[in-house]
Chains A and B, each alone.
Chain A
Amino acid sequence: MNLDSISAAVRPRTHWEAIDLGFMMAREWWKPLIISWIAITLPFFILINTIFIDHLSIAAVIMWWLKPLWERVPLYILSRALFGEIPTLKSTLKFFLKFFNQSSRFQTMLWLTLCRLKISRSLDLPCTQLEGLKGKALSQRWKLLHKNCRDAAMWLTLVCVHLELFIVLAIVVFIYMFIPAHVEFDFWGSLTSQKTGIIFCSNFISYVGMTLVAPFYIAGGFSLYINRRTQLEAWDIELEFRRLHNRHSNLSSPLDLKISKNVTAIIFTATILFNASHNSFAVSAKPKGLEFYDSGRIMLNSESSKKAINGVLEGKEFHQIKTTKSLPALDKLFNFEDDDDGVNDNPWFDWDLGPLPDWIGDMIMILAKSIKGIIICAVIALIIIVFIRYRFWLDYFSMPPSPKRRKSDPQSMFGFDVREENLPDDIPGTALALAQKNEWRSALGLLYRGSLVRLIAMYDCEFKDGHTEGDCVTIVRSNLAEQIGKYFTKLTVAWQNLAYGHRDPDYQEFEKLCRDWSLNFDKYEKN
């Protein structure tokens, strides 16, 4: 066994993945597997069926009982092919005929007698056939293998048994499907009759089923076996270590170094020469290494690829016209009232409620009517909900939006009346006049109240009744322009100092606040 020549990806897998890999192997080497199987089993099949021509079912049982013997063949091929050497038909035949030799007599007898009904056969076969184990060593080996993949082997066997059965049945049904409907032929009756020809056919069909399934079954089991050995003996690590060893010895040997230097030099010269033969700038401007790499295949440049693309675009595939026609049957289905023949032949509503007690019929009718009512209500409700939910879409049609006072806008905030109606027209002017009369509290209060009202009306600030002055500042600062935010903060601080701290503002400062108020809030025209 030479691990380096293994032709499947080696790594520890789960059991199911291992079985899948086995199926892939069987597909890969399908031809040698099936040919040698047929070459060996078909002659025997014909022979045994002619011998037991009067008792054909015995022939079928013998054929089935000898299965482990036949399965030596796919296993032999798979075990060779996995390591890179697909055996010829001749060598396979030679191997098969040795089944009763000194060396393989034991395993043949074992599998045909004691272990014939063993459910993990596919996994266990390789131990006897490939490793040639016997007695205690064999049972130990099996124990080790079974430790965690016996279940998978068992399921593989169960699935394959059923597959074989279903293939046989499927072939029979397939034949049945091809008997025309008007031919009067009792297919199933004739199947169960005990005619020799029929039994022979059924024998042959089961033989076909066996032939189709066996390579996959054996490959699945073999792959499980290989996977278990990969786990136990770390084949993947061995492979990788060998590669590392080779790489290392290549690196360190001076001769190899010289060769690799020479190769580099050759590649370098070739690159230069290659580029020198192209004078055009466009070509030599490309990365040189890439070009050298491509030169082995087809030279790629934009002109030739454009040509190729145009060639493809002009092809037949892009100039096809397809005519599609709809099914008239569908139209009929949806317009079934039109072809009314006078009789109520519409099967959809023709419920025969005859044998049912009347009350059930009544109940169903009531149920149907109430469901109808519910559906109608639901549709109406849906329309209303959609209308309410998306009514703001209507605003897009009525431009420009009028700055209406929203319902949720508060009427008063921390004791202030914040209704627009109760404010003087010239807020800063009135405030300044009040300030001159030294009525600081009402002056600053007016200014602050005015700004709250404008913030609500002009800038749609979502103040609520329960908000504090600080909350208002936060809302303004996070939603509006920085300038307004700064101004409003200043105003709030001044107001808080007066209201809670009883400190009157400076007259200069107050004047500035009034001026800035007009800047920030006076753009709004009352309508």
Chain B
Amino acid sequence: MIDSSYSIETPEGIDLTMPIAGPVVRILAYSLDACVRICIYIILGIGFQFLGKVGIGFTLITFFLIEWFYPVFFEVLNNGMTPGKKKMGIKVIHDDSTPVGWSASIIRNLLRAVDFLPLAYMTGVLSMVLNRQFKRLGDLTAGTLVVYCRHPLETPNLPEIEAVQSPLPLTLSEQRAIVNFAERHKTLSSDRSEELANILNKIIGEKGPQAVKKLYQIANGLLGGYEAAKF
């Protein structure tokens, strides 16, 4: 099964799954960061120009510092997100899913020099495409991973309908599927909804629009609407 999720088991036996961010979104995030940096360089460059040769010296020093430590600074202090990464909704973490620290961040950003070779980060892109977890060489060395930020869960938007108990015990994934089905009542066409509900014809004992309605009721029941209806 091909899946872009990375899962890690905690000592307590809990599986944490995170979707890994791939080359395209990372390239875009990098480009955004590069734009931010270039803007800073232009402003500083103009400012330092008035100081003549010493100004050039200062410019070079600040360029050096920003070029190497801009990502480190943001990754460590901003929960793994540089401004570009934040905009694209991705962040850097350690392999064990803890927030990235100084040493790992510094290593992965120093290794950008290697990933850059021979031009425009082609080694990095090649490494990302070949690696199962989309890691560039810097990530491999530092033991870091770039994943998507999780969005906070939204309250399910179910059709308002009387809740009913499920006719048979359901596994977790089956419950999820039924709730999902009800949640998407606005995006699914009615024909498709009926088609899907008809698959469960034997279990819920209804067909067509009645089956769809029954499934919505079961979903409401699964989410606790059953209890809520009693009060």
Contacts and interface: CB of A to CB of B under 8 A. Distances in A.
Interface of A: 7-9, 13-14, 16-17, 19-21, 23-25, 27-28, 155-156, 159, 162-163, 166-167, 169-170, 173-174, 177, 216, 220, 231-234, 236-238, 240-245, 248-249, 355-356, 360, 364
6 tightest Cβ-Cβ pairs between the two chains A and B = A20-B22, A240-B177, A9-B3, A170-B122, A16-B25, A166-B120
A238 B180 CA distance: 11
Given A159-B24, A236-B177, A170 B118 contact: yes
B174 interface: yes
A19 B22 contact: yes
Interface of B: 1-5, 19-25, 27-28, 51-54, 88-89, 118-120, 122, 125, 129-130, 134, 148, 168, 170, 173-174, 176-177, 180-181, 184, 187-188, 192, 196, 199-200, 202-203
A360 B51 CA distance: 9
A245 B202 contact: yes
A232 B191 CA distance: 12
B177 A237 contact: yes
Nearest to B192: A233
A237 B118 contact: no
B157 to A, nearest CB: 15
A177 B199 contact: no
Contacts of A177: 118
A244 B24 contact: no
A19 B181 CA distance: 24
Nearest to B203: A248
A159 B28 contact: yes
Given A21-B3, A159-B27, A238 B118 contact: no
Contacts of B52: 355-356, 360
B181 A237 contact: yes
Contact of B199 (A23, A169, A241): A241
Given A242-B199, A244-B174, A20 B192 contact: no
Given A8-B1, A234-B180, A364 B54 contact: yes
B174 A23 contact: no
Given A245-B200, A245-B203, A20 B1 contact: no
A244 B170 contact: yes
A170 B120 contact: yes
Nearest to A175: B118
B89 to A, nearest CB: 8
Given A14-B148, A234-B181, A360 B54 contact: yes
A390 B47 CA distance: 45
Nearest to B200: A241
Nearest to B148: A17
Given A155-B24, A240-B173, A245-B203, A9 B5 contact: yes
B92 to A, nearest CB: 16
B2 A170 contact: no
Nearest to B215: A241
Given A19-B25, A170-B122, A236 B2 contact: no
Contact of B88 (A16, A24, A232, A240): A16
A228 B162 CA distance: 31
Given A20-B25, A234-B188, 18 more contacts: A13-B19, A14-B148, A16-B24, A16-B88, A17-B148, A20-B19, A20-B21, A20-B23, A170-B119, A173-B119, A233-B188, A233-B192, A234-B196, A244-B170, A244-B174, A244-B177, A245-B203, A355-B53
A367 B53 CA distance: 17
A20 B177 contact: no
Given A24-B2, A24-B4, A240-B174, A17 B120 contact: no
The winner among B28, B168, B199 for most chain A CB atoms within 10 A is B199
Contacts of B2: 7-9, 21, 24-25, 28
Nearest to A25: B2
A231 B19 CA distance: 18
Contacts of A174: 118-119
Contacts of A14: 89, 148
Given A20-B4, A233-B192, A27 B174 contact: no
A220 B4 CA distance: 13
Nearest to B182: A237
A37 B173 CA distance: 40
Contact of A238 (B5, B199, B202): B199
